[in-house]
Structure formats: C-alpha cells, structure tokens
Amino acid sequence: MQTAAKTLLHATVACVATLVLAGSASAAPAPAQPPTAADIAAWSVPQKPFKLYGNSWYVGTHGLSSILITSDYGHVLIDGGLPESAQQIAANITALGFKLTDVKALLNSHAHFDHAGGLAQLQQLTGAPIYVRRPSEAVLRTGKSGRDDPQASAALPPVPPAKGQIWIVSDQQLLGVGSIRLQALATAGHTPGGTSWTWESCEASACLKMVYADSLTPLARAGFRYTGDKDYPSAKADLEQAFATLEAVSCDVLITPHPEAMQLFERIAARDAAPGATLKQDGACKTYAAKGRAALAARLAAEAP
C-alpha cells in the first residue's frame, strides 16, 4: 500500500471509526461527523485478498473488512463495505478462485453505509440472502437509519436498499452453510442491531476460534446521550453487555470491521515474517472490549453535567 494512502487511513477522523470528545469532563461530547471525500478514498484503497486462517479469507478493501468463509457446499461473506466496495469485494473473491454464485449467505455487523453499503449489489451478484438482527433489517430494506441509531442523521450517506431476501437472526442463533457453523452474538450500542459473528477455521487438525467483532465505539449525533436518550434508552446498557459478551467469547483470531482498530495488517505482516506463525492472539477480544469500555467511560464523563 502506498505510504500516503496508509497515512491518510490512520489519520482519518471518521464518523464511524474514531471517538472525539471535548477537552473537559463538563463539555458536551463532539458529535460524530459525516465522512469526507478523503475518508471515502482511504476506505476504498484496494487490497489484495489473502488467507486469514484455514477457510477464512480477507476480501475487503484496505480500509474496510469483508470476510469470506468457504466450504465445499457454499460460502459465507461478512460485511459489504461501501457501495463503491462491492465490485472490489466481488473481484477479490473471484481472484481467489471462488465463484460468486457459491456465496450462499451475506452477513452484516451493523447497518451503516460503510459496512452494509455494498450488500445490495453483492446480493444481486450472488443471489444470496442477507442475515441480520433487528432492527438492521429495516435499514437494509429502506436504506434509512431509524432515530434509535445514535448516528442517525441526514448527513450520513444512505444504505442502498436490498431488494432480495433478508432473514432475521437472534442473539446466540446458529447459522449453517455447508460445513460452516457460525453463531450470531448481539453486540449492540454502536447501533441497536450490532452483531458479532463467531466460527471455527481449521488447518489439518489445528482449529482456531474466529471472531468478527462489531464496532464498539459510542459515536453519536449532536444531542444524543448515552446516559439516557429517548430514541435509544438502552444504548449504554447494550454497549456494556457487548463488552461482557466479547470478554467471555472463545477468541483466538479477532477481526474488526475497521481493520486498523486491532492492527490487522501489522499482525498479518508479523505472521508472514515468521514461518509457521498464525494470527492467534491471546486476549484479543478482551483487549478490544477494554478499549470500548474506556471510550464509553470518556463519553459518559463528557455527558456529565
């Protein structure tokens, strides 16, 4: 990746990636900002697809994760990036030698334009149904976030509506495609329908617990309060439950919707530099949850009168 693009990616202060708070505990928290053209460009930098472990592959852009899980009887794709990302993701899948029509399920972490924006087009390309938790399905059907989304604002780009089949999943529900077995975990708070996904990938007899953990940042529009908001009164409690859920999950390899949130590419480089190494990282999900807890604590302090 070019140095300038990498610098831009890590310097970007984006509405869905970085929490910005006012300097004192008594000041109101700064509202989430709509993405700029520079944000979109940084998120859209092409990325050559690569194997994570076993049957799990990274097929997203350099700035936004999209994960392909393969089997002999059908594949699963998690997250669709931006609307502009769909063609890159599709090209990455075919570059690995897999057929788009063998993708049998499209999953989503949360229904914001930078993670669900490409799902409608990817559904057209694959013919696969989309699986989400409520109320994300309403966003994917209409393209519009409800007021219960902390970032709901006319300034946020819409999600292209999906015209195909959308199935509702619940917390702890198991989903099977071919030999793949995934579990949906409710990890709301960033959005009310936020979902993390877990599965197992193996190389020979060595199996690792894979976790695609949803965003945990308490970002919100102007006037929204995690200490209690009429549009989403359980936002704080939902985030706290999400932290607890990820702290308790069996977690060998962690992937996040924004790969820089847990230094995915640095970890890939370290793995590839050491023959026989894997991405296994003890305590990764606990570390990720701890970062979320710290961000929420700062947010609540800034909301305090």
Query: What are the structural domain ranges in the chain?
Result: 43-303
Nearby residues of 263 by Cβ (< 8 Å), 6 or more positions away:
none
Q: What pLDDT was estimated at residue 7? A: 35
Tokens 């793995």 found at: 271
Strand-by-strand arrangement of the 180-186 sheet: 174-177, 180-186, 195-203, 206-212, 253-255
Q: What pLDDT was estimated at residue 282? A: 93
Q: What pLDDT was estimated at residue 153? A: 81
Q: How far apart are CA 177 and CA 126, in angstroms?
A: 14
Strand-by-strand arrangement of the 75-78 sheet: 50-53, 56-58, 67-69, 75-78, 103-107, 130-132, 166-168
Is residue 135 reached through a cis peptide bond, with omega within 30 degrees of 0 on the bond before it?
Answer: yes
Q: What pLDDT was estimated at residue 150? A: 95
> 0.85 exceeded by the pTM?
yes
CA-wise closest residue to 107 among 98, 115, 99: 115
What fold is seen in the domain 43-303? Metallo-beta-lactamase; Chain A (3.60.15)
State the 10-residue block means of pLDDT for the chain, 305 residues long: 36 36 53 86 96 97 98 97 97 98 98 97 98 96 93 85 97 96 98 98 95 96 92 97 98 97 94 90 96 96 88
Nearby residues of 266 by Cβ (< 8 Å), 6 or more positions away:
none
Please give the full DSSP string across 213-245, using - where no structure is assigned: PPP------TT--TT--TT-TTHHHHHHHHHHH
Write 125-129 long-range contacts (CB < 8 A, 24+). 125/86, 125/90, 125/100, 126/77, 126/100, 126/101, 127/101, 127/164, 128/77, 128/103, 128/104, 128/164, 129/105, 129/164, 129/165, 129/166, 129/167
| C-alpha 94, offset from chain centre | 22
CA-wise closest residue to 241 among 214, 212, 208: 214
CB 150 within 8 A of CB 143: no
How many other CB atoms are found less than 10 A from the CB of residue 66?
28
| Ramachandran category for residue 226: left, alpha or beta (phi over 0 → left; psi -120 to 50 → alpha) | alpha
Task: Report phi then psi at 304, rounded to 5.
Answer: -65, 140
Q: What pLDDT was estimated at residue 31? A: 81
